[in-house]
Structure 1
Amino acid sequence: MTTTLEAPAVHTGPAPAAPANRRWRKRFTRAVHGSAAVVLFVALWELVPRFVLDESTRTFLPPLSEDLRALVDLALDGELEDHLLASIGRSAAGFAIAVGVAVPIGLLIGWYRPVARFLQPLLELARNTAALALLPVFTLLLGIGELSKVTLVVYACVWPVLLNTIAGVNTVDPLLVKAARSLGLSSPRLFRKVILPSAVPTVFTGIRMAASYSILVLVAAEMVGAKAGLGYLINTSQVNFQIQQMYAGIIAVSVLGVIVNQGFVVLERRFSTWRPKEKP
């Protein structure tokens, strides 16, 4: 009696799509988890004023839909655009000046230890002085015009960029520096090839923090002596008891901050292409 063994079937078709589906499900799950808190906050903002608060309290905390309707009305009237452009112009000017000044100084202080030791006490004193605490000083010295507001933004933005640039230079691996020097790299090439690439992530962290500060500090400054800007819109709406417009201005500030932050996240990835990518 003979037994015949059959060869196992060989599948020559395309590979199963299970790994791709798992990756898609994982990304979808992460997106749901990441947005769940925001969705819950939005739902509470809409439902609590409608069904929980009484009429008098609802006047000061209207549902989100009414605030969004006021935001759309401001956008259609062109008023939101005027205030938005005024705020963006001031914050961008102050932010650009702060980055242009703080990054070179931070590289200098981080690289030359004697300079760092000499300036450390002054830096500690200045960085612990809140920018808004100096608003009256800037207003007295520079007036209530554009110069005082831009200068306040510069002061607020300098410190996160400066301190993170110093930290980025100080955290460069000393072995990399010694290896580069042993290969005969000059100081300019050492900075370009070793110091700057290693310090980029930390520097961009400071830049992202400064971008947020430029908006927040400016909004507070625009509530004093301004004729346009998101801070002026919020303050004027509150004084005139236009509560929906006040919240619309607050929403506009929040959205602007998120857009600016995400823009700098993309920019950081563009300048940090050498870093390993995170697994999805």
Structure 2
Amino acid sequence: MPSLLKERTEAALNPRQEAAAGVKHVSRYRRNAARWFRGTIGILLLAVVWEVAPRAGLVDPYFVSPLSDVIAAWWKLVTTGQLWDHLRASLVRSAAGFSLAIVTAIPLGAAIAWYSPVRQLFTPVLEIFRNTAALAILPVFVLILGIGETSKIAIVVFACFFPVLLSTISGVASVDSQLLRSARVLGLSPVTTFRKVVFPAAVPTIFTGVRIAGAAAVLVLIAAEMIGATAGLGYLINYSQYNFLIPQMYAAILTTSLIGLAINYTLVAIERRLSRWRA
């Protein structure tokens, strides 16, 4: 009899739970739709201001081209193939430097946070370089590595290394002590504890630095390409400015912004996939 009563009670509760879940799903969908709608309205307002302000004489149209002229210049760069050549050069350099920074910074940051002798050995040296601006040290890279691809990739590595390193140290060092005690109670080895407990718990903090590094990979590279390069978006911006190709200059700048957005959203998607255990 009690089991029958329990089954009937569960049967009565299940439709209610399903209805509550459905309402929650619809509410979440509406919130997301409202957020995207407001964001789209904001972008459209910016586009309207960009188009109207130069044509209305609020700003000098020679120095701030209307958005339609910028889009026309961007499309011309696409159809002639110039944009793809410069975009490919910049993406290869930034991707190489960004990848090398992640591959080196995450293991080193984890070792610094996990082992005190490593922390005592590397911290003073890293503090010196961490407070040195990437662009300030660019001439040193050019003198040592030359004006070719190696110096540009090296400056990207330098700019991306420290955000990832510091976020890794912070993430690993701030793991909840309760998790570590639970791992010891379960008899996990230090390697297994780090792989199964510490690193997954530190992923959200690590990705904060990774996203900062993703933006730095593009920004620093653009600046480096302006100083010495024959291809890349930074070179295209500089070349367009010197030759008074103002719409083309804005088209190249707009392309760098779109690349930054794409990198950010890609990293956010990867972070969510690696952090599926979180609520």
- Per the normalisation by structure 2, the TM-score is 0.88
Correspondent of 1:34 among 28, 31, 39: 39
The 1:21–1:231 alpha-carbon spacing in structure 2 relative to 1, beyond 3 Å, is: same
1:63 to 2:66 alignment:
yes
Return the structure number with greater helix share.
Answer: 2
Correspondences of 1:186-201 after superposition (within 5 Å): 186-201=189-204
What's the CA shift for 1:18? 7.2
Partner of 1:213: 216
Partner letter of residue 91 of structure 2? I
Per-residue Cα deviation, 1:3-42 (whole angstroms, up to 9, x for no partner): xxxxxxxxxxxx7987766544333222223334333222
Q: Does 1:235 align with 2:223?
A: no
In structure 1, the partner of 2:125 is: 122
CA distance in 2, matches of 1:183, 1:18: 40
SS at match of 1:60: coil
SS where residue 147 of structure 2 aligns? coil
1:137 to 137, 140, 148: 140
Q: 1:178 aligns with which of 159, 177, 181?
A: 181
> 3-state SS of the aligned residue for 2:143?
helix
Give the count of matched residue pairs.
Answer: 262
Amino acid at match of 2:74: L
Give the equivalent residue in structure 2 for 1:253. Answer: 256
Report sequence identity in percent: 51
The 3 A distance-change label for structure 1 pair 18 and 154 is closer
Q: How far does the alpha carbon of each residue in 1:151-174 deviate from its partner, in whole angstroms, 9 at most, with x for none?
A: 000100100110000001011011
How many Å separate the matches in 2 of 1:100 and 1:69?
Answer: 40
> Distance between the aligned counterparts of 2:183 and 2:260, measured in 1?
40
1:80 Cα offset (Å): 0.3
Counterpart of 2:10? none
Mapped partners of 2:37, 2:151: distance in 1: 43
Amino acid at match of 1:31: W
Partners of 1:125 and 1:19 in 2: how far apart?
A: 51
State the distance in 1 between where 2:69 and 2:223 align. Answer: 24
Shift of 1:116: 1.9
Is 1:51–2:73 an aligned residue pair?
Answer: no
The answer for the alignment partner of 2:172 in structure 1 is 169
User: 1:25 aligns to what?
Assistant: 30
Cα deviation, 1:117-146, whole Å, max 9, x if unaligned, reads 343232222111110111111111111111
Partner of 2:105: 102
Q: Secondary structure at the match of 1:184?
A: coil
| Superposition RMSD in Å | 2.1
Distance in 2, Cα, partners of 1:175 & 1:28: 39
Superposed displacement of residue 114, structure 1? 3.3
Deviations 1:19-71 (A, max 9, x none): 766544333222223334333222211111111336xx210101111101100
Could you say which residue in structure 2 is the equivalent of 1:4? none
Q: Distance in 2 between matches of 1:71 and 1:237?
A: 12
Q: Which has the larger radius of gyration?
A: 1
Cα separation, 1, equivalents of 2:161 and 2:66? 38
**Aligned equivalents of 2:26, 2:158: Cα separation in 1:** 50
Question: Structure 1 residues 24, 202: CA separation in 2 closer, same or farther (over 3 Å shift)?
Answer: closer
| TM-score normalised by the chain length of structure 1 | 0.88
The 5-angstrom pairing of residues 74-89 of structure 1 reads: 74-89=77-92
